[in-house]
Structure 1
């Protein structure tokens, strides 16, 4: 694998991704059982993320440059990130902060190892098919932010977007209701479009570098919980993220021309 880290093709690298995910999920189960014993449950997801990022990053020769890391220094926040492909787990791992839980679809709860790890690490599972359950679980997550002194990470698009387009799908409002209910800031995180490196449809999986930009936190304390106010908040955050996504794409194109 070391010899092939820069020369392996799409199928080889895809197998490596699955293998690394399985290894890290197994490690996550162990970490979820042991770290709470020394009162460091806040390091469960962080340690798994760092392990996954460094292991997979080395084996497929992809690295991440983080811009605006100082904006992650908030013990209680709702982090929202754009969603391009299954590789987002890797880019998410590169910037994942301590004392943070993930919000995921309920189906993942039943995956061997991955589901076990997520359950043990206090992941928040939302039932997207049942709106009443989803609202109830979102309110519980808002309470957990304060009770457990944690942040939460969500992909507000809800599903993978069109990686070939410099754009975002419409945002679902759950993350924004959660932030407003908890009265904590929203921290937007934008992963540069990496269609040139990875695309499952065209079977492309190359080595390279990707930038991740963390935007300044958006306060929510003075925002009402009504639908109109939350819609306005979600629209504002989405517009800022689209603007940033386009800026990253533009600067990358200029750098490529200079080279």
Structure 2
């Protein structure tokens, strides 16, 4: 069950220390090796975490926290992972080697708007801004851990995902460990991972992902200030959207 996580952690340096980290209400930041990564902070109270100071950890050790069942720690791990993968230099290197296709930087729902016509679409997580783009879909199913009106509980994924044409999955699923099962259920379906917690890691294509729609940090100083000021969309405001697909 940990293969996906181990594939993300394995290339990260074990001889580089974490230089800084910040856990905000909505966003967690980790800096290591001159790189900053961000991930959404998971607010759920879960089991007690490690007592070791993240600031004393290596980059790889901090990234390994993404496997923690303490979700605050796992958010730190996701940010450490993203500090490695979500860098312009890293993406340029991958592109040169022909491992990925760089897509437009526009919102992924807008980019696929015409493709949705007559299709069945599911979103894991509530993307309010996507509703306009999904109007022409034959069906739109929203699965939520804390469902609102007209949402399905996330447990309905076991019964509904197999019948979809598109599935859009929030990065929270990496932290709460539901992503591996969701990818199993969505085999042979176009799967897009969406949000600031998504690592732009090409190995995710080997697990059934079709597209990664994440962010590169454009302004670190602005991002830190936004996180400290409890800005809900800090990475969106201080970042640049990037979409990549496997060949």
Greater per-residue strand proportion: 2
- The TM-score with structure 1 as length reference comes to 0.24
* More contact order relative to length (CA 8 Å, sep ≥ 6): 1
Query: Which has the larger share of helix?
Result: 1
